[in-house]
Amino acid sequence: MVVPFANLKAQYKPLRRKVRKALDRVCDAQAFILGEEVEAFEREFADYCHVRHAIGVSSGSDALLAALMVLDIQPGDEVITTPFTFFATAGVIHRMGARPIFADINPTSFNIDPCDVKKKITDKTKAIIAVHLYGQCADMEGLAEVCGDIPIIENAAQSVGAEATINGQARRTGAIGRMAGFSFFPAKNLGCFGDGGAITTDDDDLAQRLYRLRTHGQSRRYFHDEVGGNFRLDALQAAVLRIKLEHLDGWTA
């Protein structure tokens, strides 16, 4: 007998009526890109992560890419991350023209080791991407100690709802680093019905720029302040995510 690793049908069945009602709501409104449904999910997800801002985007990969863009990573810069991660973590660094620098993992947690990160920091290091794997956080306190003012981006694609103790207080992933990128790929514990992602941050200035970057740098219709990308989350995915977010803690308890 084949037992599926992720039984998406089993998750969908008890939610079927709510999901179909939500999808009908979006179709009736005929607002498929961004709009009220996405804004509502952004507020709810920000509240869940205990951060000021959640910016809905098209995928976890685009979340990381936009995070590097908003930090103005330049060709020749170095970004330290772990090799024990999905390809996109290093891929987005390369897309910016920067150089991925790999720090080894802790053999117990499989997450990036702050001690090895310290050895890899140079005057070219402009950011750290810390990946949280298997629902457990990287050593964010240790990273903060060795990184100083270097911004830390959390790759929280595998850790929605996970918590770490920072300065004696429990904080959820997405609320620890300068920014965090989330993936809502269908097989995640919070997954949509296609591709989707989000960036969380407490930095108001970064958030406002991220809102622009996800729509080709557009500040208002047909006015583009800078080159961004097409990183928008669509309303159908947001509607599904809003329903699933209500059940997330029960699923991951």
Confidence of residue 6 (pLDDT cuts 50, 70, 90): confident
Q: What is the DSSP string of 171-207?
A: EETTSSSSEEEEE--TTSSS--SS--EEEEES-HHHH
- For range 74-103, the mean pLDDT: 98
- Mean pLDDT value of segment 13-26: 94
Fold of 32-252: Aspartate Aminotransferase; domain 2 (3.40.640)
pLDDT for 5 beyond 80: no
Q: Say how far apart CA 96 and CA 87 lie, in whole Å.
A: 15
Four-CA torsion 10, 191, 107, 61, nearest 10 degrees: 150
Query: Radius of gyration (Cα) for the chain, nearest Å?
Result: 18
Work out the widest C-alpha separation in the chain, in whole angstroms. Answer: 57
CB burial of 173-197 (b: ≥16 within 10 Å; e: otherwise) equals: bbbbbbbbbbbbbeebbbbbbebbb
**Which residue bears the tokens 């977010």?**
245
Going by pLDDT thresholds of 50, 70 and 90, the confidence category of residue 87 is very high
Sign of the Cα pseudo-torsion (197, 126, 71, 97, in order):
negative
| Annotated domain spans of the chain | 32-252
Q: Residue 251 — very low, low, confident or very high, per pLDDT cuts 50/70/90?
A: confident
Summarised one tens digit per residue, pLDDT across range 179-197 is 999 999 999 999 999 999 9
Task: Report the Cα 175 to chain-centroid distance in Å.
Answer: 11
